[in-house]
């Protein structure tokens, strides 16, 4: 089985590239993040024509996750129990997109059983800045996610949770740790949440780099950071022992970050003997 995860940064803007990549990489299961479309508006026709079933969870302009599978799609879960609400936008603060009075969680997680594999596609909150209400929300969200998947992790069914966690697990996962001092994505608190998630019985499936020896998955669009390889490893694949023990290869498809109109993330591809 070939499994992959990719923050596409708008499935509408990236649709031709996504469909081309499906033809090239031929994943059996693909987790998508930051789809930026309502669940019912997910452009699924091309995927369906390629033999995929689609489970999408979206809200329009922001966030959004999906799972594409050609090995079955059952027991779909949109969101998870205990998922916290995002903080309301502060007056005059354009960096917070949530609306006052929000009564449902953001579209950040979707789970499904794909053949022999239980899968979650997740898009963790960014956190914005250390003094933003988005930062404690990010920590609450990661803690709630851990509680929601604990029983699935500890079952005998091979389990994978993958996506854009917006956290670099260690200093080696960013191009220059000194550039991130005082920033989100690298704090002890965020890394502790990931460590506690792994402590449920998950292994970090570290993908190999196809260039530079650094398996970064995200490079900002600004200042030529991709060409300078000034990236971060924040798109992660965490697998339970029954799944991790069957991994035969894993790589970051850096080629998908090249060309005209790419996402700022690259897909992570994992092959499993399942």
Residue pair 120/110 in contact (Cβ under 8 Å)? The answer is: yes
Chain Cα centroid distance, residue 251: 15
Tokens of residue 122, six digits: 């997740």
User: Would you say 229 is a known binding-site residue?
Assistant: no
Ranges assigned E (strand) in 102-168: 109-114, 117-123, 159-164
Task: Centre a 10 Å sphere on the Cβ of residue 162 and count the other Cβ atoms it contains.
Answer: 26
- For this structure, is 57 an active site residue? no
The one catalytic residue in 123, 137, 218, 238 is 123
User: Would you say 34 is a known binding-site residue?
Assistant: yes
Question: Number of helices (H) and strands (E), helices first, in the chain?
Answer: 5, 12
User: Would you say 7 is a known binding-site residue?
Assistant: yes
What would you report as the CA-atom Rg of the chain, rounded to the nearest whole angstrom?
A: 17
Residue pair 123/164 in contact (Cβ under 8 Å)? The answer is: yes
User: Would you say 264 is a known binding-site residue?
Assistant: yes
Residue pair 267/24 in contact (Cβ under 8 Å)? The answer is: no
- For this structure, is 249 an active site residue? no
The one catalytic residue in 164, 173, 235, 253 is 164
Q: How is the chain split among helix, strand and coil, in percent rounded to 5?
A: 25, 25, 50
- For this structure, is 227 an active site residue? no
User: Would you say 164 is a known binding-site residue?
Assistant: yes
User: Would you say 166 is a known binding-site residue?
Assistant: yes
Give the active site residues: 123, 164, 265
Q: Which residues are annotated as a binding site?
A: 7, 34, 164, 166, 264-265
């Amino acid at each position: 089985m070939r499994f992959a995860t990719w923050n596409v940064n708008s499935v509408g803007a990236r649709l031709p590239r996504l469909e081309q990549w499906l033809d090239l990489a031929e994943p059996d299961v693909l987790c998508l993040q930051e789809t930026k479309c309502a669940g019912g508006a997910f452009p699924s026709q091309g995927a369906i024509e390629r033999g995929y079933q689609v489970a999408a969870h979206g809200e329009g302009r922001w966030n959004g996750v999906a799972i594409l599978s050609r090995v079955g799609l059952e027991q779909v879960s949109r969101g998870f129990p205990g998922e916290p609400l995002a903080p309301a936008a502060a007056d005059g603060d354009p960096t917070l997109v949530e609306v006052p009075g929000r009564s449902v969680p953001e579209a950040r997680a979707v789970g499904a059983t794909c053949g022999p594999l239980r899968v979650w596609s997740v898009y963790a909150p960014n956190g914005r800045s250390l003094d933003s209400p988005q930062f404690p929300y990010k920590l609450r969200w990661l803690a709630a996610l851990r509680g929601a998947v604990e029983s699935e992790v500890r079952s005998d069914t091979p389990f994978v949770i993958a996506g854009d966690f917006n956290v670099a697990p260690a200093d080696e996962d960013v191009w220059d740790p000194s550039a991130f001092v005082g920033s989100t994505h690298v704090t002890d608190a965020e890394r502790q949440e990931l460590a506690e998630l792994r402590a449920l019985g998950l292994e970090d499936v570290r993908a190999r780099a196809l260039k530079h020896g650094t398996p970064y998955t995200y490079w900002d669009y600004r200042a030529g950071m991709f060409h300078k390889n000034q990236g971060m490893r924040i798109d992660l694949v965490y697998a339970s022992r029954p799944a991790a023990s069957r991994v035969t290869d894993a790589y970051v498809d850096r080629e998908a970050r090249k060309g005209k109109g790419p996402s700022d993330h690259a897909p992570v591809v994992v092959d499993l003997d399942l």
